[in-house]
Amino acid sequence: MEFAPDEETRVSSPRGEKTIVAYEPPRAYVPPGAHLEQPKRRAWPWILGILGLLLLVLAGMGIAAAIFIPRMLEQAANQNSRANSNANRNERSNSNKSSLNSNSNVNSNSNVSEDQLESAPTDAALVLGQLTEIENEWTVANINADKKALDRILADDYVGQQVNGKSQGKAEYLNTIERDSTIQKWDFESLKVDLKGERASLSGIINLQLRDRNVSYQFTDKFVWRDGRWQAIGSQVSEITQS
């Protein structure tokens, strides 16, 4: 039904009076409930969801670490233990090999070593060579004041008679020895050995070439066989006067 633009609508009042209502054009159609405002979306549910997810991830990582890290540490410890065990086995093996080699060497030379350690040599020529070597070592030790070498050469009960006729024990010998830089060369002559069981004496002449002159001494050194070697227990020295 259409209304004319200038047409007026008349409405009857309860008293029968007619009231004229101004015309209003029809409004656009609004569906029911459309005038209500849409509710605003809140952000905190999303935040709580994200935090919950993070907590779950962290918890999972903690559980995984608690399970796998001890296993990894145990595996590393087992590997180190196996490596140390292998190293110990190799060391023991090398030690055993060295011990076997040492024992084989001792056994192969058992006759010589046992004789040398248990009893003194009985061959005078052999003893002469041994004592001559000791005399050379003794001379070098005197020149260099090598107390360690002298302590090995001299027996603890050593008593020597010096050129001036004064007696001297081992302790005094080691305490008073000084380096001698005047001796250039030396040699021995007329060496003789007197062998009696575990005791031997070596006599002869030592010629010393000094910087400004040459001197010679007559000597007799006494030795005893102890601890598998010859040790000096006494000596007598006298200077040979040059005519």
Question: Are residues 125 and 217 located together in one domain of the fold?
Answer: yes
Cα–Cα distance measured from residue 153 to residue 230, given in angstroms and rounded to the nearest whole number: 8
Across residues 3-25, what is the average pLDDT? 51
Cα–Cα distance measured from residue 99 to residue 81, given in angstroms and rounded to the nearest whole number: 26
Cα–Cα distance measured from residue 237 to residue 139, given in angstroms and rounded to the nearest whole number: 13
User: How far is Cα of residue 127 from the mean position of the Cα atoms in its chain?
Assistant: 45
Q: Which domain holds residue 153?
A: 120-239
pLDDT in tens, 19-28: 555 555 666 5
- Dmax of the chain from CA atoms? 189
Q: Please say if the pLDDT value at position 11 is more than 50.
A: no
Provide, rounded to the nearest whole percent, the portion of the chain with pLDDT above 90: 44
User: Does 4 fall in a domain?
Assistant: no
**167: domain CATH number?**
3.10.450.50
Q: Which two tokens stand for residue 75?
A: 């595996």
Buried b (16+ CB within 10 A) or exposed e, 181-202: eeeeebeeeebebebeeeebbb
Structural domains of the chain, count: 2
Q: Please say if the pLDDT value at position 112 is more than 50.
A: no
Report the pLDDT value the prediction gives residue 81, as an integer from 0 to 100.
61
Q: Do residues 235 and 212 lie in contact, with contact meaning Cβ atoms separated by under 8 Å? A: no
User: Does 41 fall in a domain?
Assistant: no
Q: Which two tokens stand for residue 229?
A: 């070697």
Question: Are residues 94 and 185 located together in one domain of the fold?
Answer: no
Q: Do residues 159 and 172 lie in contact, with contact meaning Cβ atoms separated by under 8 Å? A: no
Confidence of residue 109 (pLDDT cuts 50, 70, 90): very low
> Which of 60, 77, 108 marks a domain boundary?
108
Question: Are residues 127 and 71 located together in one domain of the fold?
Answer: no
pLDDT in tens, 171-220: 999 999 999 989 999 999 999 999 999 999 999 999 999 988 999 999 99
Report the pLDDT value the prediction gives residue 21, as an integer from 0 to 100.
53
Q: Which two tokens stand for residue 61?
A: 């990582």
Confidence of residue 74 (pLDDT cuts 50, 70, 90): confident
Highest mean pLDDT among 33-37, 67-71, 148-152: 148-152
Q: Which two tokens stand for residue 117?
A: 């350690």
Report the pLDDT value the prediction gives residue 165, as an integer from 0 to 100.
80
